[in-house]
Amino acid sequence: MADPTSRPVPRPTPETQHYWDGTKVGELRLQRCDDCEEVYFPPRPFCPKCSSKSVTVFAASGLGTLHSYVINARPHPAWAQPYSIALVKLAEGPTLMSNVIGCPQTPEALELDMPLQVTFEELTETITLPLFKPSEARA
Amino acid sequence: MTDVAIVGAAETTELGKIPGMSQLQLHADAAFNTLADAGLSVGDIDGVATAGESPTGVAHYLGITPHWVDATAVGGCSFMIHVRHAVAAIQSGQCETVLITHGESGRSNIGRGGRPGGAATLAGQFEMPYGPVGAPTLFTLPVLRYMKDFGLTHEQLAMVAVVQRQWAGLNPRASFHDPITVDDVLNSRMIAYPFHLLECCLVTDGGGALILTAAERAKNFPQPPVYILGSGESVETPMISQMQDLTSSRAFRVAGSRAMADAGINHADVDHMMVYDAFAHLPIYGLEDLGFCQKGEAGSFIAEGNTAPGGCLPLNTNGGGLSFMHSGMYGMYALQESVRQIRGTAAAQVPDAQVSLCLGVGGMFGASGCVVLGNT
Ligand SMILES: [Zn+2]
């Protein structure tokens, strides 16, 4: 029943293009302010903390922790079963929304603060989504 | 303390399921009921504020030629912010008599405009691909973090719905009246873990409106004046994934503290309180972010009955978005209940309510407006 192609496809803007170029080549790209060192997300060509326009795109480690989530039971055309919608706190500081895959979608398996690592899933020819799975480094 | 008062307040004639009215007509129905409540006619109105529809559309539909309009639309708390802006406009002489309208065909979806948010917006790029299905899967996202950090239990969260149903049982216009238990809540259908159906707001049709004018004129109206003692507003983020702190709303903190300082009140002065409850955790965040409870204590405060009928801080006394009604932008109904409580005409009247604090939320912890009302 589920039709993964019905998943909403992001449309990059000039300010976010580097992020989507990154996921396509297996990098989770963030930005760091050259003046105050703030690491931030979502992308924009200036620092949200100090307004500096001197910012640098870099590849993040792809590591993070499960900060919070819900397990959606409402129907969505792209998913057949209940699935997690997660907030992942990246090792570099920012938090982003994603899905945790590679484990049962249950409160027991989805333990808050569990270590996660990024994995990439191609959605279209131009868009690859960063998803997260339980970290392999986990004991 | 401001020099402005609410002299007219009413909801639509019906609430709940209103398939025979467009959204714009719901605005008009609420507006005419409110004009009647104030003993005014359309020609007396010179300022119009609304959200959901444009003030252009509402003014044209009603036949008003305004000197002042406000189209602030930051979600369900827009009406609290309209009150705040109308106070400033009336005090500065930009207009004399402001009509604030709300109408929403949330359930029947008659004549309702589309929702914005394309694939190139930040939410379209960084939230929608991960499968959120409306507010029940977004507004709820912070709560597991709150539960782990502060020990809130599933049973305490369920008690928010249980207590609000107690209030709804006293209100003939509420959608639901029958008492519910914690087990009823926890056994209701899972919507998005950890949220069950009874911890999510209703989806209904309805509307409401307010009329504001200078306090010095307020005694000449049929209803007892409800004075606007203070107000506050703020915004934080259009995406819940970018909240600074998942356990606290910055917009609540900014709007709430400003409103209380503006009104010159402290917590003990508040006799009655409304916290926009789109979902069961909202009253918990509101009580803590405004300092009525210490961090982490609002869940037990509610579960112990302090906000229930007979409790020390009556909260969401119409039954709230969980049991009274929720058309989508509920803030207007919270304001209506605060006005009724201060007038002394509420279905579940709090004895001797002199100060009511009404806290609204917009979007998913995206915005907030707060209004403090009083009878003197
Ligand atoms: Zn900076």
Q: Do A99 and B131 touch (CB under 8 A)?
A: yes
B30 and B160 together in one domain: no
Distance A92 CA to ligand 1 centre (A): 15
Q: Do A74 and B133 touch (CB under 8 A)?
A: yes
End position of a domain, from candidates B225, B257, B278: B225
**Which pLDDT tens digit goes with each residue over B249-299?**
999 999 999 999 999 999 999 999 999 999 999 999 999 999 999 999 999
B93 and B143 together in one domain: no
In a domain, A71, yes or no: yes
B281 and B305 together in one domain: yes
Interface residues on B facing A, Cβ-Cβ cutoff 8 A: 118-120, 122, 124-134, 136-138, 140-145, 148, 189-195, 239, 241-242, 246
In a domain, A139, yes or no: no
**Which pLDDT tens digit goes with each residue over B58-110?**
999 898 999 999 999 999 999 999 999 999 999 999 999 999 999 999 998 88
Indicate the pTM of the whole model: 0.94
Complete DSSP assignment for B268-298:
GG--EEEE--SBTTHHHHHHHHTTSS-TT-H
B103 and B182 together in one domain: no
Q: Which residue of chain A comes nearest to B247, CA vs CA? A: A68
B78 and B142 together in one domain: no
Complete DSSP assignment for A51-119:
--S-EEEEE---EEEEEEEEEE-S-BTTBSS-EEEEEEEETTS-EEEE-B-SS-SSTTTS-TT-EEEEE
Distance of CA B47 to the CA centre of its chain: 21
- The token duo for B363 is 């979007």
The pLDDT confidence band at residue A1, using thresholds 50, 70 and 90, is low
**Which pLDDT tens digit goes with each residue over B152-189?**
999 999 999 999 999 999 999 999 999 999 999 999 99
pLDDT at A121 over 60: yes
Tell which residue, B371, B374, B363, has the closest CA to residue B84: B371
**Which pLDDT tens digit goes with each residue over B212-258?**
999 999 999 999 999 999 999 999 999 999 999 999 999 999 999 99
- The token duo for B168 is 């709804």
In a domain, B126, yes or no: no
* Domain region containing B209: 4-111+204-225
What is the C-alpha separation between A24 and A100, in angstroms, rounded?
A: 19
In a domain, B319, yes or no: yes
Q: Do B133 and A7 touch (CB under 8 A)?
A: no
B177 and B299 together in one domain: yes
How many Cα atoms are found within 13 Å in the side-chain-facing hemisphere of A82?
Answer: 17
pLDDT at A139 over 60: no
Kindly report whether the peptide bond that precedes residue B132 is cis, defined as omega within 30 degrees of 0: no
Distance B259 CA to ligand 1 centre (A): 31
In a domain, A2, yes or no: no
- Structural domain total, chain B: 2
In a domain, A59, yes or no: yes
B9 and B94 together in one domain: yes
End position of a domain, from candidates B225, B259, B286: B225
In a domain, A118, yes or no: yes
* Domain region containing A41: 14-134
Predicted pLDDT at B271: 98
B76 and B193 together in one domain: no
Helix axes B78-91, B331-343, angle to 10 degrees: 60
In a domain, A5, yes or no: no
Q: Do A72 and B144 touch (CB under 8 A)?
A: no
Q: Do B192 and A76 touch (CB under 8 A)?
A: no
What is the C-alpha separation between A30 and B256, in angstroms, rounded?
A: 34
End position of a domain, from candidates B225, B259, B285: B225
B221 and B289 together in one domain: no
- Structural domain total, chain A: 1
What is the C-alpha separation between B95 and B46, in angstroms, rounded?
A: 6
Distance B58 CA to ligand 1 centre (A): 44
B236 and B302 together in one domain: yes
In a domain, B208, yes or no: yes
- Measured in Å, how far apart are chain B's first and last C-alpha atoms? 10
B72 and B184 together in one domain: no
Q: Where residue A33 sits, what CATH number does that domain have?
A: 2.40.50.840
Q: Where residue B348 sits, what CATH number does that domain have?
A: 3.40.47.10
List chain B residues with CB under 8 Å of A107: 193-194
- Measured in Å, how far apart are chain A's first and last C-alpha atoms? 36
In a domain, B241, yes or no: yes
In a domain, A1, yes or no: no
According to DSSP, residue B200 is labeled B
B186 and B101 together in one domain: no
Q: Do B143 and A42 touch (CB under 8 A)?
A: no
The CA-atom distances, in angstroms, between B134 and each of A17, A107, B128, B138, B326 are: 26, 21, 10, 7, 15
Pairs across A and B, CB distance < 8 A:
114
Residues whose CB is less than 8 angstroms from the CB of residue A51 and which lie 6 or more positions away in sequence, other chains included: none
